[in-house]
Structure 1
Amino acid sequence: MQSPPPPAKRRREVKDNEDAPSAASDADADRISALPDDVLHRILSPLPAHEVVRTCVLARRWRDVWRSAPAVRVTAAGGWWDTATEINAFLDGLLRLRRRGGDGDDSRLESFVLDLDAADLGFAGYLPGTVNEQHISRALRRAVRHNIRVLRLRLRSFQERMLLVLPDRPFVSRHLTTLELTHVSVTSGILDFSECPSLVDLTMNRCYIIARISSLSLNRLIFRDCALCDIRIYMSLPGIRLLEITLHSGRAPLFFESMPLLESATVVLRYGCDDRWGCYGYIRSDGMKIFSLLERLSEATNLCLFAHPGMFIFNRDLYWCPTFNKLKTLELNDWCVDSDLYALFYFLQHSPVLEMLTLHLSKVRKDSFQTTGSYKPLGQLASDRLKKIEINHYEFFDERVRKIFKILSTYVTPLQVYMSARCELIIPLLMLLFCILSKYI
Structure 2
Amino acid sequence: MESTDEHAMESDTDLISVLPGEVLQHILSFSRIRAIVRMRRLSRRWMRVIECLQFICLDYRDFKHWKVEKFARFVDNLLLIRSKVDLHTFQLYWFHYLPLNCNDLRKWILYAVKHNVKVLDVELDMYDKTALPSRIFTCRSVEELSLQMGEAPDEDLEHVGLVLPDIIQLPSLKKLTLSDVEVDQLSLNQFIGRSPNLEDLHLINSATYLDLIASKVLKRLTLDGFMHGPKRFTISAPHLVHFECQGCALQDVSWGEKPSLESAHIDTWGKKYDGESEFIGVLLSAKTLALFGSDVKVMLEKELPACPVFERLTTLEIGNWCLTEDFYAVLRFLQLSPRLGELTLMQEELPHAARKGAETDAMPIDGMTFQCPFLETVIIQCSKGDDGINKLVNVLAANGINPKKIQVNFYEDIEEMERAENRRIIEEREKELCNFEKMAKKNPEWVDESRYADSNPETDSDEYDDDYDDF
Asked which structure has the greater CA Rg, the reply is: 1
- Percent of pairs identical after alignment? 18
- Contact 1:265/1:302, CA 8 A, preserved across alignment: yes
- Alignment of 1:112 with 2:101, yes or no, is no
Query: 1:439 matched to which residue of 2?
Result: none
Query: 2:434 matched to which residue of 1?
Result: none
> Structure 1 residue 367: deviation in Å?
10
Structure 1 Cα separation of the partners of residues 342 and 304 of structure 2: 20
- Which residue among 132, 149, 156 is the counterpart of 1:136? 132
> Structure 1 residue 230: deviation in Å?
4.0
Structure 2 unpaired stretches of 5+: 1-39, 60-70, 414-471
- Alignment of 1:150 with 2:144, yes or no, is yes
Structure 2 Cα separation of the partners of residues 383 and 340 of structure 1: 20
- Alignment of 1:409 with 2:397, yes or no, is yes
- Residues 319 and 195 of structure 1: is their aligned pair in 2 closer, same or farther, counting only changes over 3 Å? farther
- Residues 108 and 259 of structure 1: is their aligned pair in 2 closer, same or farther, counting only changes over 3 Å? same
Give TM-score scaled by structure 1 length.
0.66
- Which residue among 77, 81, 87 is the counterpart of 1:54? 77
- Which residue among 282, 301, 306 is the counterpart of 1:296? 282
- Alignment of 1:321 with 2:320, yes or no, is no
Code of the residue aligned with 1:72 in structure 2: it is F
Structure 2 Cα separation of the partners of residues 95 and 73 of structure 1: 10
> Structure 1 residue 188: deviation in Å?
1.7
Structure 1 Cα separation of the partners of residues 177 and 253 of structure 2: 19
Structure 1 unpaired stretches of 5+: 1-28, 101-106, 284-290, 425-441
**Local SS of the residue matching 2:218:** coil
- Contact 2:382/2:409, CA 8 A, preserved across alignment: yes
Query: 1:216 matched to which residue of 2?
Result: 216
**Local SS of the residue matching 1:300:** coil
**Local SS of the residue matching 1:299:** coil
Stretch of structure 1 that moved more, 69-78 or 216-225: 69-78
- Alignment of 1:386 with 2:375, yes or no, is yes
- Alignment of 1:189 with 2:179, yes or no, is no
> Structure 1 residue 56: deviation in Å?
6.0
> Structure 1 residue 348: deviation in Å?
1.2
Query: 1:237 matched to which residue of 2?
Result: 237
- Contact 1:305/1:332, CA 8 A, preserved across alignment: yes
Q: After TM superposition, list the pairs within 5 Å mapping 1:141-290 onto structure 2.
A: 141=137, 144-158=138-152, 163-164=160-161, 166-167=163-164, 171-192=168-189, 193-211=192-210, 212-226=212-226, 229-247=229-247, 252-260=252-260, 262-269=261-268, 273=269, 275-277=270-272, 279=274, 282-283=275-276
Higher relative contact order by CA 8 Å / sep ≥ 6: 1 or 2?
2
> Structure 1 residue 251: deviation in Å?
5.1
- Contact 2:315/2:340, CA 8 A, preserved across alignment: yes
Q: After TM superposition, list the pairs within 5 Å mapping 1:3-152 onto structure 2.
A: 35=46, 39-42=50-53, 45-47=56-58, 51-55=74-78, 62=81, 65=83, 68-73=86-91, 86-87=103-104, 91=106, 100=114, 108-118=116-126, 126-127=128-129, 132=130, 135-136=131-132, 138-141=134-137, 144-152=138-146
> Structure 1 residue 381: deviation in Å?
1.7
Code of the residue aligned with 1:298 in structure 2: it is L
Query: 1:343 matched to which residue of 2?
Result: 329
- Contact 1:227/1:249, CA 8 A, preserved across alignment: no
Relative to its length, the structure with more helix (as a share) is 2
Q: Deviations over 1:39-75 (max 9, x none)?
A: 4343761248954433466xxxx3x626743333456
**Local SS of the residue matching 1:409:** helix
Q: How many residues were matched structurally?
A: 349
> Structure 1 residue 351: deviation in Å?
1.4
**Local SS of the residue matching 2:124:** strand
> Structure 1 residue 200: deviation in Å?
2.2
Structure 2 Cα separation of the partners of residues 220 and 69 of structure 1: 26
- Residues 139 and 389 of structure 1: is their aligned pair in 2 closer, same or farther, counting only changes over 3 Å? same
Structure 1 Cα separation of the partners of residues 384 and 99 of structure 2: 51
- Contact 1:235/1:255, CA 8 A, preserved across alignment: yes
Query: 2:350 matched to which residue of 1?
Result: 364
Code of the residue aligned with 1:202 in structure 2: it is L
- Residues 249 and 384 of structure 1: is their aligned pair in 2 closer, same or farther, counting only changes over 3 Å? closer
Once superposed, what is the RMSD of the aligned Cα atoms?
A: 3.9
Query: 1:395 matched to which residue of 2?
Result: 384
